[in-house]
Amino acid sequence: MLELAKPGSAGTGTGVIPVLRDGAVVALLRASNWREAGTATIGTQTWVLAKHRGDLTARWASDSEDVVRMRARQTSLWKGTWRVELEGTPVEVRSASRWKGTHRFLVDGKPVAESGTTGGWSPRPTLTAEPDLPVHHQVFLLWMELVLSRRNTAAITAATGAAVIGGSS
């Protein structure tokens, strides 16, 4: 299982989120707090993560800006479904739990990964994947989960704020 650790933990610098597998760092994620963008360093390879024309995308840092190696596109807002392309492999993303905001990732109808969260007041995304799913694909899916988690938190905060303002008049 991959999990996002607390930023700056596991011997990383400020603003760096370690990606852990069984307590060992397998990747370093630098995710912007204000934009849906960042970088992921896995071994010696750096991936550029971005939102491009509504899609979440990933490319190698050495690629030109128009190259897309991995992409996630929402297919249904109401059902919470997504379509992901992992270097040519289509992945269907379904909601595993609306309450928890978790997803199941399927290739040709077979589950290859499932997201979850750590417990506590500030839950962080986790990803349990089949062993043959490459780690850079897993990190992309984990980053996607982080983005979706932040979107959900922002929506809840906005709705709560509107309810408080509306109820206080």
CATH number at residue 81: 2.40.160
Question: Per DSSP, which regions of the chain are E strands?
Answer: 2-4, 17-21, 24-31, 38-42, 45-52, 55-60, 70-76, 81-86, 89-97, 102-107, 110-117, 125-129
Give how far the C-alpha of residue 81 lies from the chain's centroid of Cα atoms, to the nearest Å: 14
- State whether residue 131 is helix, strand or coil: coil
Indicate whether 169 pLDDT > 60: no
Total number of domains in the chain: 1
Given pLDDT bands bounded at 50, 70 and 90, which one contains residue 166?
low
Tell me, what's the pLDDT at 161?
A: 59
pLDDT tens readout for residues 87-97:
999 999 998 87
Domain housing 130: 2-167
Whether 57 and 70 have beta carbons less than 8 Å apart is answered as: yes
Indicate whether 152 pLDDT > 80: no
Q: What average pLDDT does this structure show over 113-139?
A: 93
Q: d(Cα 134, Cα 166) in Å, to the nearest integer?
A: 48
Tell me, what's the pLDDT at 25?
A: 96
Whether 131 and 125 have beta carbons less than 8 Å apart is answered as: no
**Most confident option among 77-81, 82-86, 101-105:** 82-86
pLDDT tens readout for residues 106-124:
999 999 999 999 877 888 9
Which pairing describes strands 89-97 and 102-107: parallel, antiparallel, or unpaired? antiparallel
